[in-house]
Structure 1
């Protein structure tokens, strides 16, 4: 079922990047938004941009790795928005390095945000959605959820888990009239690399180069994501290269991982 004409939406990781792009895309629908992030200044700037674009936005400080912080978003959404129609579990970070060398503290950090943040959001809002027999989750994963990239195991693990969670939750919530979409973009410009941990100079430069390609940036990803929500689609894979690799992974997975992916990585790095 499409979103209401003027949806009420909670967005985590709303201070910049895709979170801000989603907020601005929703502002064109005159949505009422609750913007959750640890970056207060960034969230307030997003709120100003939303107001200029015709929407309404409220900000709240939230660490998605803390279940209590996310649980409080339910009450905040009631107070600020009068309820909720869409929850966007978007907050994310990046950590890289070789398995066996990556500090376990970095594993804990990325799992806390990228995976537990989505679990916390789904856990907190599922009872409300079931009760009202409507609502939708947009869980932001990545093409890294089905493309296992050497040197980015922590990131790939979290995104693959978000895909699996979304697939299971979709089946669980369908009888209650609640939808789930998992977003799996490839590269587009965000601040995730600059704030990441464990990326060497070569990997950082390669990622920034790929993220800087013309077109198909955050605004495009946000628009395609919301189109998938309106269509009730489980998967949103907005970039053409991601769709091709996804098909290849399903058709000949060992060829992808043993032959093609190593060749691509050598060219990039």
Structure 2
């Protein structure tokens, strides 16, 4: 087991100004962690840090644009200085774009790749040396069930999240026996601001449908964060908190051709009909 909450954990969470990132921070606070709260929106990070301090936990708010390597490098150095080491890195920052592949402009591909993929790569690259030096640590990479299922009208999002899954799997193999663990979180829908802040193209109803599914979800951000932290403590690689994502992933692995040619068109046909 590479992560234990028996003593205060020193954690860094990106995209922590709201949504799942804030939920991670608050759950860590309830587990008596020390947290560096990072977000491109410093005001949001400071608000999260304030909520943590009310729980009696030490928190530090930092502005960080994860799409810039130098910003993540500064975050890693700051975390070392503020916490004296990092036991847990949560690469959570993420954005979304939707629409048909040929309707999405190159700049939106570059935007989402910078945050969703390069942000995770930079986090792993720059924090892992510190974890190797201390001989322990854990990384939670926040992907999505979209990275496992790759459904229509979400190509850029699917591509980045599938890459995060692949990166996490690769790291799990490379880090075996080092005392450093990896968990990749793949939720389906829960309430978050990611759709509202996204870039959406064409006549696709994917964004509005996703919003409705988020509102209906029984498991929301606090439960997702709790599930992911428990999975990390257990040394689990794949964390799929939602039952629908878990079952769909099983169906895809069992019969991938049928999944894409039968189930996906039927499901998205219902979406198009509203």
Normalised to the residue count of structure 1, the TM-score between the two structures is: 0.97
| Alpha-carbon shift at residue 28 of structure 1 (Å) | 0.5
Aligned equivalent of 1:208: 211
Aligned equivalent of 2:224: 221
Aligned ranges 1:15-54 → 2 under 5 Å: 15-54=17-56
| Alpha-carbon shift at residue 203 of structure 1 (Å) | 2.4
1 CA distance for matches of 2:185 and 2:164?
Answer: 10
Aligned ranges 1:20-169 → 2 under 5 Å: 20-169=22-171
8 Å Cα contact 1:96/1:151 also seen in 2? yes
Aligned equivalent of 1:181: 183
8 Å Cα contact 2:12/2:36 also seen in 1? yes
- Of the three residues 234, 244, 256, the one matched with 1:253 is 256
Aligned equivalent of 2:270: 267
8 Å Cα contact 1:144/1:186 also seen in 2? yes
**Residue 100 of structure 1: SS of its match in structure 2?**
helix
1 CA distance for matches of 2:204 and 2:125?
Answer: 37
Aligned ranges 1:224-235 → 2 under 5 Å: 224-235=227-238
| Alpha-carbon shift at residue 224 of structure 1 (Å) | 0.2
Aligned equivalent of 2:244: 241
Unaligned stretches of 5+ in structure 1? none
| Alpha-carbon shift at residue 215 of structure 1 (Å) | 2.4
| Alpha-carbon shift at residue 201 of structure 1 (Å) | 6.8
Moved over 4 A (4+): none
1 CA distance for matches of 2:218 and 2:60?
Answer: 30
**Residue 212 of structure 1: SS of its match in structure 2?**
helix
| Alpha-carbon shift at residue 148 of structure 1 (Å) | 1.1
1 CA distance for matches of 2:85 and 2:131?
Answer: 10
Normalised to the residue count of structure 2, the TM-score between the two structures is: 0.95
Unaligned stretches of 5+ in structure 2? none
Matched positions, count: 269
1 CA distance for matches of 2:246 and 2:73?
Answer: 34
RMSD: 1.1
1 CA distance for matches of 2:112 and 2:217?
Answer: 28
